[in-house]
Amino acid sequence: MIRRPPRSTLFPYTTLFRSGSLTEVDPAVSAALDAETARQRDGVELIASENLVSRATLEAIGSPMVNKTVEGYPGGRYYGGAEHADVVERLAIERTKQLFGASYANVQPHSGSQANLAVFLAFLKPGDTILSMDLSAGGHLSHGAGPNISGKWMNAVHYGVTADGWLNYHDLEAKAATHRPKLIIAGGSAYPRAIDFTKFRFVADEVGAILLVDMAHWAGLVAVGAHPDPLPHADVVTATTYKNLRGVRGGLILSARDDLDRKLDSAVFPGVQGSVILNAVAAKAVCLGEALRPEFTDYAEAVLANARTLAATLVGREVDVMTGGTDTPLLLIDLRQIGLTGAEASDALEAAGLTANKNGVPGDPQPPQVTSGLRFGTSAGTARGFGEAEFAAIGHGIADVLESMVASTRGEVAARTRSRVTEMCERFPIYPSG
Ligand code: DSN
């Protein structure tokens, strides 16, 4: 009889996953994470869709809840062992409802785009018409832009903004009357002003359309009453949790209506998603709990005050701020007057420790990888404690960088223009030589 040696109680693979820290197991990833942490620490984050989550939120997203797979909704899962998952998802749902005064909330969307896609699935068939803000006017990819599934599968028509950047309600009304959309979207990702939801409701009712408000960029302000509330006007509202709600990457769907639960739930699962990212749902619950605390009101109000200070500082330095200011945590500047592109300006700002994103502006002649604008947001800076004095200093820093670029560009452009003028004048002499 062959005698086998005694089997180790721990296979090598169990040792690896039990004891190795990230630094030991994967130094390459670990180094990149450390470098990213340092980058966030040492620079000013002005990207409007970013924020800094709390330690508690980081703990939740990094918890063993990441290991659990469930499908379905609390109390009706398709997998066993879901009791704790149910607790966190119910907490997230109840906190969302409480924060926004909603009668319905779905916390499963993996992102704002997924939330919007689920709303389309709930109310539309391929080929149906939707009416939304044009991407170049400040709309969002998932609102019917050509390269997105929403633009490929829907007949998307768009309203725009006026020459000075304000939402064009006449255009909205005219396009609704002409195209009779089944769904109208209010909201975007680069429109800085408060939207008149009453007007949108009126237009939607005129043509019998569903009204979807995408409040991703100002949900934190809505939560504390620092921005008009879309819930009473919209059939459905979508949001993300990682902008001024200060939470992790993910989406939400809400409604003040009490007849859409089944339609919207089934559109998320099994409509456009499978299993739930439960550690993200747990982290959403944490950030929503934080947003229910009184300190969050101070935070959200400071985000808005800081955005207004940043806008006013830039206006004072003669930077072309779209609409001259903001009612939200974001603002958009147009660089065309000073002859810069968004790409070169964002590179220059990044070299100065100011991270922002290049962004198209209305009527932008540049392609999306270049653009003629920059978008700034104050959610992350405010989270680390910057106040109005810091945002005024940031505004001056931005203006200094842009002015220095313009000064050098001016030199080049003047020389190039001088040589063209010389060549042209030589071909059109006014006095015959000799
Ligand atoms: N929607 C994108 C943005 O506004 O930056 C990502 O959240």
Q: What is the pLDDT of residues 341-366, one digit of tens each?
A: 999 999 989 888 889 999 999 999 99
- Sorted by sequence, the CB contacts under 8 Å of residue 302 that are 6+ apart come out as 382, 387
Q: Report residues whose beta carbon is within 6 angstroms of any ligand 1 atom.
A: 49, 140, 189
Task: Give nearest CA residue, ligand 1 atom 3.
Answer: 49
Pocket probe mutation, ligand 1, options 47, 49, 185, max atoms within 8 Å of Cβ: 49
Q: What pLDDT, on a 0 to 100 scale, did the predictor assign at position 406?
A: 82
Task: Give nearest CA residue, ligand 1 atom 5.
Answer: 49
Is the omega angle on the peptide bond into residue 270 within 30 degrees of 0, that is, cis? yes
- Report the alpha-carbon distance of residue 40 to residue 28 in Å, rounded: 19
Q: Quick: pLDDT tens for 10-52.
A: 677 777 677 778 998 899 999 999 999 888 888 899 999 999 9
Q: Give long-range contacts, CB 8 A cutoff, 24+ apart: 362-367.
A: 362/136, 362/137, 362/138, 362/160, 362/161, 362/163, 362/165, 362/322, 363/136, 364/136, 366/341, 366/342
| Distance from the alpha carbon of residue 328 to the mean position of ligand 1, in angstroms | 14
What integer best gives the mean pLDDT of the chain? Answer: 92
Q: Quick: pLDDT tens for 139-184.
A: 999 999 999 999 999 999 999 999 889 999 999 999 999 999 999 9
| Distance from the alpha carbon of residue 143 to the mean position of ligand 1, in angstroms | 12
pTM, two decimals, is 0.91
Q: What pLDDT, on a 0 to 100 scale, did the predictor assign at position 10?
A: 65
Say if CB 154 and CB 141 are below 8 A apart.
no
